[in-house]
Structure 1
Amino acid sequence: MNINSIMEKIILIMDCIAIIILIFGVILATYYFTKTSLKTKNLNLLSQNNKTLRNQLASYILLSFEILIASDIIQSIVKPDLKDILVLGALVIIRTLISYFLDKEVQNSK
């Protein structure tokens, strides 16, 4: 087993972890949203709870993005092809912008 095959497995594991974190966050947010919506009759309290849920979901999304970016960086080091590096650059820019705006939204809603 060479280093490239080991790194590819690590990259795959990191990608799977990121997906699991994202799915876990969505499931938790959906569960608590449903639970709160069915229990709460007060619209102001419901709105506050939804804002909290959005912040929690955004934190899961941000964590997932950070793991995916780390995975992409490792992949570009393992396979330094110009096409892969350009794709990585584009993905990092897009994910960084999304992360920045999600983080800004979380900070503004606190």
Structure 2
Amino acid sequence: MSELLVSLTEASTLAIDLIALCVIVYGTVEAACMVILHVVTARDDGLERRAIWLRYARWLVAGLTFQLAADILETSVAPDWQTVGRLGAIAVIRTFLNYFLDRDLAEIRERNREGLTPRKGEVADVDAA
């Protein structure tokens, strides 16, 4: 029974990591295309450039969240403490990255709800974009 649980966990971890990979690759390709389009059209609009990076940050947050879920699963069947420690360190790094990206996005959303004008280089929430 234990071997079945380990096999299911490893398969689930692989599937979740694949989802994370797809999310991050899609977001990266989308951001790269938007940047190229921005450069080709010769628009030097800081607000549009910031919107591109905010949208990219959302994709990264989603990908990091999936990766963290895979790390949590992986630690549940880790064979030794060294592996648990390594996975724990990776999970902490991903959690901090996720936290700061998400905090930046939430701050912009809150400022938009309050009707405040964006700071220099900041744009309105781009959820609809």
Place the TM-score, normalised by the shorter chain, in its bin: 0.7 to 0.9
Deviation at residue 40 of structure 1 after TM alignment: 4.5
The RMSD of aligned alpha carbons is: 1.9
Which residue of the partner structure matches residue 49 of structure 1? 48
- Correspondences of 1:11-90 after superposition (within 5 Å): 11-41=13-43, 43=44, 46-79=45-78, 81-90=80-89
**1:80 CA drift (Å):** 5.2
Q: Structure 2 unaligned segments of length 5 or more: list them.
A: 109-121, 124-129
> How many corresponding residue pairs?
107
Within 1, Cα distance between the matches of 2:15 and 2:73?
12
Higher relative contact order (CA 8 A, sep 6+): 1
Paired position in structure 2 for 1:92: 91
Whole-angstrom CA distance in 2 between matches of 1:48 and 1:37: 14
Residue equivalent to 2:119: none
Cα deviations by residue, 1:29-57 (Å, 9 ceiling, x for unpaired): 1111212322244x2xx211110010011
Q: Report the identity percentage.
A: 23
| TM-score of the pair, normalised by structure 1 | 0.83
* Unaligned runs of at least 5 residues, structure 1: none
| Partner Cα distance (2:78, 2:70) in 1 | 12
TM-score, normalised to structure 2, is 0.72
Moved more, 21-30 or 100-109: 100-109
- Other-structure match for 1:104: 103
User: Counting helix residues as a fraction of each chain, which structure ranks higher?
Assistant: 1
